[in-house]
Amino acid sequence: MLQKGDQAPDFTLAASPDKMVTLSDLRGKNVILAFYPADWSPVCTDQMGLYNEMLRFFERHNAVLLGISVDGKWCHQAFAKDRNLHFDLLADFEPKGAVSRQYGVYKNGESLRALFVIDDQGVIQWSYLSPIGENPGADGILQALETMNATA
């Protein structure tokens, strides 16, 4: 798994059937990558719902949140609509898990539950691998963003 100080690998993934997101296009903003196993699973649903509620706090730190799993763009679109999510869910679907593999968080056909906070220059400032059945919450993300702002 990539760690603090590593350059975040660039990628382009589908956020919907007609929208692509490229990490390097977000330079100048802090980026939170929330890798998760699957749309619709109970823990993932809770985790993404919590992050949806935390968006205004992330935005105060000039941060963009991106959810990433190996589910397809149509599945993500239905999940985001059903859960009223206001951030992009990216489909690491084809080739399956390619981005998750780059970040070292792919196992047994799915993304592990992992978090990365990337600074405005594309360098990882914090990472965390959570047990698969446990919602990692948002405290670590907020602490990382606050630390980055304090040292900027």
Name the residues annotated as catalytic: 44
Residue ranges in the chain assigned as alpha helix (H): 42-59, 73-83, 98-102, 139-151
For 51, counting Cβ atoms within 10 Å of its Cβ (0-12 exposed, 13-18 middle, 19+ buried), the class is buried
Q: Starting at the edge strand that comes first in sequence, how are the strands of the sheet with 30-35 ordered?
A: 19-22, 12-16, 88-91, 63-69, 30-35, 114-118, 124-129
Strands 30-35, 110-111: pairing kind: unpaired
Q: What would the two tokens of residue 53 be?
A: 């509620």
Report d(CA 138, CA 59) in Å as an integer.
13
